[in-house]
Amino acid sequence: MHALRLISVLAALAAQPAAAEPRIVFTSGPSAPVSAFTLQGDRLVARTAVDGFSAGQALPVQSADFISGEKPAEVNAGIALLLTGKAKEARDVLQPVVESQRASARIDGNHWTEAVRALLLAHALLKDADICTRLGKEISDATPASGLDPFTSLAKALQAPATIGADERRIALADLTTDNLPADIRAYASFYLGELLAAEKQNAEALEAFLSVPGLHPTGGRIVVAAAELRASDLLTAMGRREEAVALVQSAVPAVRDTVFADEAVKRLESLK
């Protein structure tokens, strides 16, 4: 089943119209695809001759102004797989885009950070401790804030073994939903807190956690917001609160196009009519 799901996701991505490939726009004016460069210390080095840059040409990272072009579709597709519990499939979809966008890690507007944080969480769910340590350091080194990136704390919470009690795991996740943290970490932590509470049959508390994602952390990422809306709709349906469930599914549908959630969301909406 793992191979079939992955093939279907990749086929859907391949069928999409070609998006504008992310490009590094330099302060001097020219631009080139992110994938055409490697990041070596504080320098961007061209892999091959491309768009006026010669093979091996090195430029300071500071000479890069911003990233243009669209987010690779694999980022949202991989996050959706991650949030449906398909960590292996998420890893397989996210890893190539993390590699292709790595040169942009320290440039404003990059898509690498979002992708590699999701990849970190996929490895956390797979209990790949050594890979999580490596990715956590790479993310922390690339992002401007000092110290460890807060996603490393979420990855640690998700790696907790089954021997760790539910209360301890709940506290670890709840600690990552406080207002002093960025919206994306709060959104992910609230989603996984909801999943934990739902697994413990604490449905009212789980519903509150899921609803906090669109309610309190709406800028935390459109896929995680939509995933939380869909999970909340499940609980509301079971509680007989059909109109609220329909409203949440309707809100989620536009965001999950071209992800593993798409067909599920449409079918759920039809079933609730």
pTM of the entire predicted model: 0.91
- pLDDT at 156 (0 to 100): 97
| C-alpha–C-alpha distance, residues 203 and 180, integer Å | 27
5 burial via Cβ count (<10 Å: 0-12, 13-18, 19+): middle
- Tell me which of 15 and 110 has the higher pLDDT: 110
Classified as helix, coil or strand, 217 is coil
* pLDDT 10s digits, 230-244: 999 999 999 999 999
Q: Quick one: average pLDDT of 134-163?
A: 94
Domains of the chain: 1-144 (no CATH), 160-273 (1.25.40.10)
Using one digit for the tens of pLDDT, what is the confidence trace for 239-263?
A: 999 999 999 999 999 999 889 999 8
Residue 266's pLDDT is: 87
pLDDT score at 203: 98
Tell me the pLDDT tens digit for each residue of 155-175: 999 999 888 999 999 999 999
Confidence of residue 1 (pLDDT cuts 50, 70, 90): very low
Q: Is pLDDT of 149 > 90?
A: yes
For β-strands 23-26 and 64-68, DSSP reports them as antiparallel
